[in-house]
Structure 1
Amino acid sequence: MIGEFGHMNEKMAHKHLIDQPNVLIRIHKDGQILYSVRISLVLSCPMHLHDYPMDVQTCLIDLASYAYTTDDIEYKWKTEEPVQLKKGLEFSMPSFQLTNFTTTYCTSKTNTGEYSCLRTTLQLQRQFSYYLLQLYIPSTMLVIVSWVSFWLDRSAVPARVTLGVTTLLTMTTQASGINAKLPPVSYTKAIDVWIGACLTFIFGALLEFACVTYISSRNFYKSNKPSLAGHALHSTKSKSLTQPLTTPLLLPNSNFEHLTATSQLRNRPLQQEDNQNEVWVKQRNTESDVILMYNEESPSQLHREPGWKNFLKKLPAYRWIAKRLTIDDRAKRADYISRILFPTCFILFNIIYWIRYSRYQAQPQL
């Protein structure tokens, strides 16, 4: 009955026969028998790739009796050092690192009887340095390179389009090379989340340039409209509740409804000594029309800014950002906003991503 055992998760195996069968049998005086045979095995190990490439896999080696029940033969682990690891094992597994192993029993009961079984559980942690150098750092650099278009002039259309399309195609090629090494699975992996986010940021930079070009061309066509259209627009505005003013005005609430009907109101001063029911008028620095703002609920109450807003205005960073965003050119303003928005969102994504996936956890076996 010696050697009557099988590997339950075996895919392929063979005994070494060079130059003689590698088998050792030793019988001791006390009746103990040592039986040793050299076998090379290829075993199946179902893997869960949810956290790939920062995953920890649990693989099993099951040795069970095939034809003899526990009444005939029973396998037991050695008390001391039941599993011996060969020196230099870490060099033979470049993709994984053996972090832990345990021994247990997997005796099974079937219709034909109870069969003895030995189980070795191996915990394998995937080496992350390869993916860090081949995927994460290059893809991060591609995302940063796509932001260079925000600093280029919007009139440099060939440069910005070439930069966006090149980074997008490079990222797509890199993602295809990584996924070609993996089996197709129905769930989302950690590497899919990273690649999808990088593609989104690069594609977003390309869309931002399209929006900037559209806004710029729209402003250009607006500035070149015929003068007649401008006169017609001015005459239409003169009928509305607008007045060309250069100083802030204070209007009484009782006279607001008669502003357009009474022509005498235009000739007399609009500032009143009566401070009740005041209506504040929005003032612009230019000589353009000013729209009269009216609040029916509380016209006599002055609007005061909260303290936290005043505190923010005193910060140098807030003043620097506000200075960049108070430009009249909407296309240039979009580039300024993108210079701050895209890096900030990418940093926040990295914080959430690495907190979620950098914890190595062993996947349970089904």
Structure 2
Amino acid sequence: MLTKVLLILLGMSIILPSRSEEPRVELENGPSAHDDVYGHQPQAPENKLLSEETVPTFTGPYHRLGNLQAATHILNSILNNYDHKLRPGIGEKPTVVTVELSVNTLGPISILDMEYTIDITFCQTWYDERLRYNGSFESFVLNGDMVSQLWIPDTFFRNSKRTQEHVITMPNQMARIHKDGKVLYTIRMTIDAGCLLHMLKFPMDSHSCPLSFSSFSYPESEMIYKWEDFKLEINEENSWKLFQFDFTGVTNTTETISTPAGDFMVMTLFFNVSRRFGFVAFQNYVPSSVTTMLSWVSFWIKKDSAPARTSLGITSVLTMTTLGTFSRKNFPRVSYVTALDFYIAICFVFCFCALMEFAVLNFLTYNWTKPRASPRFRHPHIRARALTPPRAHVHQHPEAFVCQIEDSEESDGEEGPFCPAQQSFRRRTIQKAGNGCCKWCKKYFCVVPSCEGSIWQQGRLFIHIYRLDNYSRVVFPVTFFFFNVLYWLVCLNL
């Protein structure tokens, strides 16, 4: 009986576990057996996610966090107790700021306002031990909103008149924090800086436009600037706007200036430019030279054509006055004379002298030589015979010089007074010189040692009044030529 009871209990223990496991199997196999009833069911993604998921590995205490959580934790930890109002190393050592510049656009240069425009990307680098961290990230890049939470050097540009920081589409500034505490701060700005232009050699002038910067509140004992091996990136093809100038190079200086607030270190960049000569040459030098040479045309016009010669001379003088005023229109009001002003002034003197030459010729011809009321005409060629009193009266009245217009077949074709001084000189020179003296020298340059005419001719160079135009045709061009040679040699070699 006992044996039967044990067998019954053993059978029941085997049957009951098998029945309790049947529903679990059906539940696991249920979705595949009832697809038509419940429609499409998504597959369980456990196996797929486990096979494709890439779990980042970190060192230190952040190995169980993701990249975003780890970066947030690092930034919060280093900025939690960070005071951006205090400079790094305060009370211990000065902060060394390394500077680097990248010039995006240079120009234009305003001559009238004596300033220039420059677009730069300004980079500053320093070390801040408070920003050190441990982690797999080599650096963090912070945008413009986060930059305000860091200590930034209070650098300002000393010779700037206007400064613009670019904020489209976001503020153009960035801070990069390295794990060793190194901080790189970059900002883009456009500066209108003053540039003192020395215009003495204008338009053959060269200038050095400075860009000077320093700390506003930290003296040299607290902040030191230095160049990053003087790295200056200049891209001349990036829409430079120098126009009238050529870029010739850049230099830098470092100096310390003393102020009531302390001694500050000042860094200065000099952008060297030289003026292009073509624009000024065609606008000023060529018109001035042509106008001056145009005034010489009056020397080939007959002296009897007073309206033509007078109008030409006055027009030349007024044109030079206009050119001189136009050259100063877009020019700073400096108190010294520039090279261009000197050239225009000399051209003005040449034009004025050409006008005065006709005035002198007209005055000497029609006031010192008074013709008779009814002259006798015997031949187309006219010669004036001087009627002078005896020699004793000549010295008493030197102004008594009256010429009579007569005809003569022996006239040499020159219209003018035939005076006793000239007649006596011709006889003497013919006897002494003979054929040895050239006709041109006897005609134009003659010294009268014993003059029988007026007292003012004794021992002086005898100049024929009616040949004054002939002298001017040679003297004016030769003098202007030598002036140009001397002018350009001096201006181009200084």
TM-score calculated relative to the size of structure 1: 0.70
| C-alpha distance in structure 2 between counterparts of 1:287 and 1:160, whole Å | 31
Equivalences, count:
292
| C-alpha distance in structure 2 between counterparts of 1:238 and 1:70, whole Å | 94
1:308-333 deviations in whole A, cap 9, x for unaligned?
A: xx7xx57xxxx55654668x994431
Which structure has more relative contact order (CA 8 Å, sep 6+)? It is 1
Q: Give secondary structure in 1 for the equivalent of 2:340.
A: helix
Equivalence for 1:34: 184
Shift of the 57–351 alpha-carbon distance from structure 1 to 2, 3 Å rule, reads same
| C-alpha distance in structure 1 between counterparts of 2:196 and 2:362, whole Å | 51
| C-alpha distance in structure 1 between counterparts of 2:313 and 2:419, whole Å | 39
Equivalence for 2:247: 98
Gaps of 5+ in 2: 1-150, 377-384, 396-417, 426-431, 447-461
| C-alpha distance in structure 1 between counterparts of 2:471 and 2:422, whole Å | 27
Q: Determine whether 1:334 maps to 2:484.
A: no
Q: Give secondary structure in 2 for the equivalent of 1:132.
A: helix
| C-alpha distance in structure 1 between counterparts of 2:322 and 2:386, whole Å | 56
Equivalence for 1:67: 217
Indicate the larger mover: 178-187 or 135-144.
178-187
Q: Give secondary structure in 2 for the equivalent of 1:70.
A: coil
Conserved 8 A contact 2:445-2:463: no
Q: State the shift of 1:133 in Å.
A: 0.8
| C-alpha distance in structure 2 between counterparts of 1:145 and 1:288, whole Å | 34
Equivalence for 1:244: none
Q: Determine whether 1:178 maps to 2:312.
A: no
Q: State the shift of 1:31 in Å.
A: 3.0
Equivalence for 2:363: 214
Q: State the shift of 1:48 in Å.
A: 1.4
Q: Determine whether 1:115 maps to 2:249.
A: no
| C-alpha distance in structure 1 between counterparts of 2:293 and 2:330, whole Å | 26
Conserved 8 A contact 2:444-2:464: no
Conserved 8 A contact 1:325-1:336: no
Indicate the larger mover: 149-158 or 89-98.
89-98
More strand per residue: 2
- Partner amino acid, structure 1, of 2:475: L
Question: RMSD of the TM alignment (CA)?
Answer: 3.5
Q: Determine whether 1:348 maps to 2:482.
A: yes
| C-alpha distance in structure 1 between counterparts of 2:386 and 2:442, whole Å | 34
The partner residue of 1:157 within 298, 302, 306 is 306
Q: State the shift of 1:29 in Å.
A: 3.6
Q: Give secondary structure in 2 for the equivalent of 1:119.
A: strand
Conserved 8 A contact 2:386-2:419: no
Conserved 8 A contact 1:325-1:337: no
Conserved 8 A contact 1:172-1:199: yes
Q: Give secondary structure in 1 for the equivalent of 2:273.
A: strand
Shift of the 231–104 alpha-carbon distance from structure 1 to 2, 3 Å rule, reads closer
- Partner amino acid, structure 2, of 1:176: T
Conserved 8 A contact 1:146-1:202: yes
Equivalence for 1:299: none
Shift of the 188–240 alpha-carbon distance from structure 1 to 2, 3 Å rule, reads closer
Q: Give secondary structure in 2 for the equivalent of 1:116.
A: strand
| C-alpha distance in structure 2 between counterparts of 1:195 and 1:98, whole Å | 28
TM-score calculated relative to the size of structure 2: 0.53
- Partner amino acid, structure 1, of 2:485: I
Shift of the 25–285 alpha-carbon distance from structure 1 to 2, 3 Å rule, reads closer
Conserved 8 A contact 2:252-2:270: yes
